[in-house]
Amino acid sequence: MTDGIGGVTSVLRWGRKSLALSFFAQGAAFAVLVTRIPALQDQYGISDGLLPVFLAAVPILAGVGSVGTEQLVKRVRPSQVLRWSQPVLLLALLGVGAGDAMWQVAVALGVFGLSVGALDASMNMLGVSLQRAYGRSIMLGFHAAYSLGGIVGASLAWAGAHWDLSLFLSYLPVVAVALPLCLLGSRWYVDGAAGAEAAAVGGKDSGIVFKMLLPLCLVMSFAYIGDSTVSNWSAKYLQDVLGSSEQLSTVPYNVYMVMTLVGRAVGDVGVRRFGPVTVVRFGAVVAAGGFGVVAAAPGAWVGMLGFTLLGLGLCVIVPQTFAAAGRLFPNASDAAIARLNIFNYVGFLVGSPLVGALGDAWSYRGAMLVPMVLVLVTLVYAPSFGRGTDRYGGGHERPRAVDVGPGGSGV
């Protein structure tokens, strides 16, 4: 039953809303975990030397979860993977805050990591298939919901630290609200025709050529190297290099997150109007300019401007990378997205140690130039974002949505 607007059905509209809720919940859960790392360290007595092992284990296991999801969606629909991985992640988050022994937090973080990989992969699979069904760019909107969730989660973490709440009580509001809402919303997840056909035929990958996917994998890694640089080093950089107060040093990441929300909220309009290649090029140039401003900043407020530009530039690249993989392999988009998603965690793992090592060996100003150069390399690979049959924007937008295939509600 259509609503008469652009041929988009009510099933698709409900699918879009429910998936946006999942992105929001994921952003909130991840933010409330990573922003209370010091409290986690104190609760379990994790030494400074052992902490990097715990932190690295999460993205490594997330990569394993993404690989597993590629195999799993050969047998079940991505909506089923998302429906059950999200509650597992939320309960694992609660488990992280509930224990008192090292082995307990190790198990909880391990489950959290595996479910993050499954969740990220399946959410983006559904997002790409919904975008194809809509016939216009909507992918940035889902990632805007993730950014909004991240802001909410970070705010809850700040409140927990301010009132000296235990980790369990800090995590509980996110889980108590998100878990029932996501379970309810999962009734309206929409699977794309490509995913349904893949499951029906035993999940053949329809000849994914890694050489064709490689440019997008590199862009994904470069974007997350930039993102992890901001999340891990912005506070230290502002305080130690630019001489800000401790209080002011906490602001850049919040500014960065707000700008990712703003950029993603309006980014779909830009893609529809100018096309994905232009938007990705714009984002890369703005992000590189942001790193340049940060590296040359004479003081804290100019540095803040650089982190603002970084949020506005980097935010458009990752969602468009997933969308490009779906266009590049329209008959095997689920498998392509699962493989691409691994490079999310590669960038996260590489970024923070890379900047830290360069900062210690050389200078932190000089270290900021490395992610700047890597982001600029995205310009070389930007044409990869325009391949495929689905184009969005002036002269490219399809006149109506297409059928999402049998069993479209995903129930």
How far is it, in rounded angstroms, from Cα 218 to Cα 347?
A: 9
Nearest Cα residue to 140 out of 297, 273, 288: 273
Hey, what are 63's tokens?
Answer: 């990569």
Residue 399 in any domain: the answer is: no
Judged against a pLDDT cut of 90, whether residue 93 lies above it is answered with: yes
In a domain, 230, yes or no: yes
Within-domain flag for 320: yes
- Going by pLDDT thresholds of 50, 70 and 90, the confidence category of residue 206 is low
Virtual CA dihedral for 299, 300, 304, 306, nearest 10 degrees? 30
**CATH code for position 139:** 1.20.1250.20
pLDDT of 393 strictly over 70: no
Give yes or no for residue 193 having a pLDDT over 70.
no
Q: What is the largest CA-CA distance in the chain?
A: 63
User: What range defines the domain where residue 281 resides?
Assistant: 10-386
* Predicted confidence band of residue 158 (pLDDT cuts 50, 70, 90): confident
Q: Which H helix or E strand runs over 21?
A: helix 10-34
Q: How many CB atoms lie within 10 A of CB 235?
A: 18
Run of H or E including 319: helix 317-328
| Number of domains into which the chain is organized | 1
C-beta of residue 321 within 8 angstroms of C-beta of residue 333: no
CB 118 within 8 Å of CB 66: yes
Helix 300-314 vs helix 317-328: angle between axes, to the nearest 10 degrees? Answer: 20
Give per-residue pLDDT as tens, 288-347. Answer: 999 999 999 999 999 999 999 999 999 999 999 999 999 999 888 999 999 999 999 999
Per-residue pLDDT, 1: 39
Q: Which residue in 199, 185, 268, 209 sits closest to 14, CA to CA?
A: 185
| Residue 331: per-residue pLDDT | 85
pLDDT of residue 113 exceeding 50, the answer is yes
Whole-angstrom distance, CA of residue 204 vs CA of residue 292? 45
| 323 within 8 A of 276, measured Cβ to Cβ | yes
In a domain? residue 4? no
Structural domain includes residue 105: yes
From its phi and psi, is residue 191 left (phi > 0), alpha (psi between -120 and 50) or beta? beta
Whole-angstrom Cα distance, residue 57 to residue 349?
10
Residue 392 lies in a domain: no
380 in a structural domain: yes
pLDDT band at 7 (very low <50, low <70, confident <90, very high): low
Distance CA 391, CA 322 (A): 14
pLDDT band at 371 (very low <50, low <70, confident <90, very high): very high
| Per-residue pLDDT tens digits for 248-271 | 887 888 899 999 999 999 999 999
**Is 40 part of a structural domain of the chain?**
yes
